[in-house]
Amino acid sequence: MGGKLTGIDGEWRIRVENGRNRGYGSGGCGSGAAARAAAGWLFAGRLLAGCLLAGWSAVALAAAPTVGPAAKPQTATVAERVETGVLGGASYRIDMPTHWNGTLIVYYHGYSETPVVFEKGEDNTVGSGFAGRGFAVVQSGYSVAGFAVEQAMSETETLRRYFVAHYGQPRETYVTGHSMGGELTMATIESYPGRYNGALALCGLLEPTTWAIEHGGAMLAAFDYYYPGLIPGPEHVAASVDLSSTLAKKVQTHLHDNPTGYAEMKALGHFKTDEDMAGVLVFFAFIERDFEQKLGAPLLNNANLIYFGGPDDNALNAGVRRYTASNAALGYLKTWYTPTGVLDRPMLAVHTTYDPVIPPDTVSLYADQVQRMGSSRFFVQQFVEADGHCNISPEQTLTAMDELLDWVHDGHRPTAGLVPEQAH
């Protein structure tokens, strides 16, 4: 399969290159970079889930020849054409390789504090990375920032149709994405199975959105019980309030002021580091505000929740303030999105073994849903041995994509478990 990908060792700059949203850091997205992924990168106006493919500009990529969809990458290719523009209020980018292998990859980016804007002439590691292997790639920036599942699905479908009209019908089409983009990947393969040959969900939220948001809100209510006012809210937080990495650092310095609260919160969130705890909780506050501003109603909903797993559960359950979300707000979340578990195309999901933002057990919950719906033959869950949200290397991502292609073309179903090492 051409040359082997070159790993990236030591300190390196994370280039999150979806339009203007560029983040820089060191050491990737691992712990203790997990809180920087949840707080520092996000609140600087950068993508929460962009670092997955960040190293692609520094690795050798091979391209697929044009002899059919099952062909393996062989020789290097450079994208011949990059098109950017705006469709329906959403910025978009199309990468078209010199020697297109006939396969289209539809990519969903993750949660972003600011709208993603693609500009002509700017590097884009997702587009150039896949195009370097002969794939055409389309990406929508979405017309709204923050949680954008509703908008992203329709706007990306519009972009896919635009591609077909202007570049031709692909032999095959695959969907992939990170974090919220992983949720969109799942929703897309469930909703439009006839339009896609397979799906690769990376560090995705594969549980009902209501569950995830209720979990985040319940964590904020618990934190406010132990540390009143340290994080503003947990509801009705004004847009002017700074929910940034600066606040996360402040929160981190006060975590040990309440030893009982610290032990309980660490147990409830399964946090490995103080940095993870502070950063993720501030990120949850940002998300709660985002939803309240979009829907006009708060989404905190811990009225019927029993907190468990920590050393102070009884006191917390007796003393925490209880909140009830509006039916309208919960109804919106159920629509965008509740997994059906119904698959008739292959879907491969990859997650890290420790993710403080989207815990790995969400993938297991989806696997159970798929099994109950009789679709298990179309779903495989794999993991990488890494800490942090979306800390999946470019090499591991390409390996997973190759596994998905082999599954579709040759019926070689990937083995559940660790993403295998593989030369590209």
Question: Within 10 Å of residue 161's Cβ, how many Cβ atoms?
Answer: 12
pLDDT in tens, the chain (424 residues): 332 222 222 222 222 223 333 222 223 344 444 434 433 333 333 344 344 333 433 332 332 332 333 334 334 445 579 999 999 999 999 999 999 999 999 999 999 988 899 998 898 989 998 999 999 999 999 999 999 999 999 999 999 999 999 999 999 999 999 999 999 999 999 999 899 999 999 999 999 999 999 999 999 999 999 999 999 999 999 999 999 999 999 999 999 999 999 999 999 999 999 999 999 999 999 999 999 999 999 899 999 999 999 999 999 999 999 999 999 999 999 999 999 999 999 999 999 999 999 999 989 999 999 999 999 999 999 999 999 999 999 899 999 999 999 999 999 999 999 999 864 4
Q: Is 176 helix (H, G, I), strand (E, B) or coil?
A: strand
Q: Where do the domains of the chain lie?
A: 34-205+345-418, 209-334
Taking alpha carbons only, the member of 350, 332, 356 closest to residue 399 is 350
d(CA 303, CA 325): 9
- Return the CATH fold of 34-205+345-418: Rossmann fold (3.40.50)
The amino acid at 120:
K
Whether the link from the prior residue into 323 is cis, omega within 30° of 0, is: no
DSSP state of 21: B
d(CA 313, CA 98): 60
pTM, 2 dp = 0.85
Q: Which two tokens stand for residue 14?
A: 């994370």
